[in-house]
Amino acid sequence: MIYNNPFSQLAESVSPMAIQFFVFAMIALVIIGTLLDIVHKKNVKYFFENAKKAKKSAKKILTTGEKTSVILKTIASDIATTSELGAGKRRAAHLLGMYGTILFWIGSVVMIFFYIEPSLNTPSVWPIIWHVGAIMTVLGGSWFWFFLRVDVYSEAQPWYRIIKADLFVLALIASSLFGLIWSFLQSLNLSERWDDKVFLVFYIVSNLVLFGGVYWSKFAHMFYKPGAAIQKNLAEADGSRDNLPPPADAPEQFGLGIKREEPKHY
């Protein structure tokens, strides 16, 4: 299964154009959901007003070279390695899920737009990228959802309690998991089978929930977080610090109590 392009096998019974249209529809849903979210929360308006205000208290004007260097460092660290999450399980789970999703989506787009025709041979690297990406997403997302999300990890809520905030992570896990199961069942090539079609429907529905739910879910954090990290590091470099006070110039003495328990109460 891992060497099979599941979309080209699907294209034997479904029009390739319909599959490609589905991808465009999902992209449109993300754009619409994010724009509605921006209008509703007014977060981008606040973000730019705040950045403008902070600029007034800048202690130095950054050159284009300095700005570029700050942005490149932010991309390499804050964004590519989600350094905001510190060292440890939370960051490892996020990286697994984030890179898994990126591989899964890139694999999908390449296989759907370049190798969808059943007569074409798909280089095996693309199905491998797609399947490995899906497995990474399921592992990273499940690790986060079952063990690390704050209401379970810090607030002692049972793992099976589902709230609206779980929409993004659960839809993400579902779309990868159903995609994998669909690909596996379809690759068995058994005639008169209906189970692969059931999982194809689950795969489609979970994608509709994931991409159609942007307005209600945490999906858009993947756009907001990088923007906020760049702004924060630019504000650090020009001395404005977003109008926040500098860290105290004093030794970090918290007493022995700090060692009693790992900090996990947010």
Q: Which positions touch ligand HEM (CB under 6 A)?
A: 78-79, 82, 84-85, 90, 94, 97-98, 101-102, 141, 144, 149, 165-166, 168-169, 172, 218, 221-222, 225-226, 229
Measured from the CB of residue 98, what is the shortest distance to ligand HEM in angstroms? 4
Cβ distance to ligand HEM smaller for residue 198 or 225: 225
Report the C-alpha gap between 94 and 104 in whole angstroms: 15
Instruction: Kindly report the number of other CB atoms within 10 A of residue 196's CB atom.
Output: 21
Cβ distance to ligand HEM smaller for residue 205 or 222: 222
Report the C-alpha gap between 214 and 28 in whole angstroms: 11
Please give the structure tokens belonging to residue 219: 């999906």
Measured from the CB of residue 91, what is the shortest distance to ligand HEM in angstroms? 8
Measured from the CB of residue 112, what is the shortest distance to ligand HEM in angstroms? 18
Measured from the CB of residue 121, what is the shortest distance to ligand HEM in angstroms? 29
211: CB partners within 8 A, 6+ apart: 26, 27, 29, 30, 33, 219
Measured from the CB of residue 19, what is the shortest distance to ligand HEM in angstroms? 22
Cβ distance to ligand HEM smaller for residue 56 or 265: 265
Cβ distance to ligand HEM smaller for residue 90 or 131: 90
Looking up tokens 């990868």 gives: 176
Cβ distance to ligand HEM smaller for residue 11 or 134: 134
Buried residues in 215-251 as b, exposed as e (16+ CB within 10 A): bebbbbeeebebeebbbbbbbebbebbeeeeeeeeee
Cβ distance to ligand HEM smaller for residue 54 or 93: 93
Report the C-alpha gap between 149 and 114 in whole angstroms: 38
Taking CB atoms, the residue at the shortest distance from ligand HEM is 225
Measured from the CB of residue 170, what is the shortest distance to ligand HEM in angstroms? 8
CA distances, 215 to each of 96, 98, 160, 222 (Å): 24, 20, 24, 13
Measured from the CB of residue 171, what is the shortest distance to ligand HEM in angstroms? 9
Q: Burial, 74: exposed, middle or buried (Cβ in 10 Å; 0-12, 13-18, 19+)?
A: buried
Cβ distance to ligand HEM smaller for residue 85 or 198: 85
CA dihedral 205, 206, 208, 211 (to 10 degrees): 180
SS3 state of residue 4 = coil
